[in-house]
Every structure is written in C-alpha cells, then in structure tokens.
Amino acid sequence: MLTEHAFGEFYQRHSRAVWTYVYRVTNDAADADDIVQEAFLRLFQAEIEASDDEGLRRYVFRIAGNLVVDRWRRRVRDARETAAPVESDSVARDLDVVRIFSELKPRERALLWLAYVEGDTHAGIAESLRLARGSVKVLLSRARARLRDLLTARGVVERLEK
C-alpha cells in the first residue's frame, strides 16, 4: 500500500501526464480534472504493492481510461433518456462510436485502449492484462477487426469517410 509520502511523490511525477492523456481523450479540462482526481484517489485507496513505479503508472492510466469510458457511457445514456435533439452529425457519430466501443468485450476494449490511446507496447499490454506476450498481437488484431466490423455494420465507417 502506498504511504502518503510515496503517493505524493508518485502524483508529482505522473499527474500531469495522466491529465494530458485524459484531456486529449475528452477534450474537456474540467472532465480531465475530475477524472484525474478520481483516478489518483482510487489508486491511493487501492491495496496494491507500491514497489514498481511503472506498474503503478500503468495502473493509474488504466483507472483513468476506465473512468473516461464510464463518463462517455453515462453521457450516452443521459442523452438517450432526455431524448435531446442531436446537435450535429459529428456528435451523433461520436455517440455511435462510443456505444459501439462499449459493445466490445472488456478485454477487447482494454487491448485497443492500451494500444491506441495509451500507446503502450505489446509487452506492457501483456503485463497490464496478464496475458502471454505473444498473444497480444493476435488478440489486438482480432479486437481491431471486431471493432471495424461493428462500425461498418452500423454505417459509422461510411460516415467517417465522408
């Protein structure tokens, strides 16, 4: 478990990178502030070994990524519940992509997220998801193909190409 001092040092080293990552994904500074605060709080409360700085960094990024997806899902659900008119084709497309992404299996979402949002290596992905290193490439390829098929089947790919 992290001590207050160790947590403070870890936060100083990595909070800006996590914030930048979340901001680039959400494009909203207030959301990034909230998500980063919640991610580090969850890390601090987690009962995990604090011996590996890189492992903790990957863990806080994973928490932040999950919080971003949760926020998107909540917004999509809220938008459906309020039946508010869609502002533009871009917003509708984004909501479709988020909804389709959420239809992937959790492991597929995690693979795609770690590879393309966090830019993690296959070795890092294997360690984060506790997979054999050699299987990451195959599983990632299958996850990309499944996402592409879902996007194509729903007509989102055609709208992206316009």
User: CA-CA distance, 4 to 10, in Å (whole number)?
Assistant: 10
Is residue 22 a contact partner of residue 36, using CB atoms and an 8 Å limit? yes
Share of the chain above pLDDT 70, in %: 85
Domain borders along the chain are: 1-84, 88-162
Please state which CATH class domain 88-162 belongs to: mainly alpha
**Residues whose CB is less than 8 angstroms from the CB of residue 95 and which lie 6 or more positions away in sequence, other chains included:** 75, 76, 79, 86
Quick one: average pLDDT of 10-33? 89
User: CA-CA distance, 8 to 27, in Å (whole number)?
Assistant: 26
Give the pLDDT confidence score for residue 22 in this predicted structure. 85
CATH number of 1-84: 1.10.10, 3.30.70, 1.10.1220, 1.10.1740? 1.10.1740
Give the pLDDT confidence score for residue 158 in this predicted structure. 63
* pTM, rounded to two decimals: 0.55
User: CA-CA distance, 148 to 100, in Å (whole number)?
Assistant: 10
Give the pLDDT confidence score for residue 31 in this predicted structure. 92
Torsion of CA 143, 148, 154, 159, to 10 degrees: 140
Give the pLDDT confidence score for residue 10 in this predicted structure. 93
Say yes or no to pLDDT of 142 above 60: yes
Give the pLDDT confidence score for residue 35 in this predicted structure. 95
Domains 1-84 and 88-162 share a fold: no
Give the pLDDT confidence score for residue 95 in this predicted structure. 63
Give residue-wise pLDDT tens across range 81-133.
775 554 555 555 566 677 787 788 878 887 887 888 778 889 888 877 778 99
Give the pLDDT confidence score for residue 87 in this predicted structure. 52
Query: Helix %, strand %, coil % for the chain, to 5?
Result: 80, 0, 20
Quick one: average pLDDT of 32-48? 92
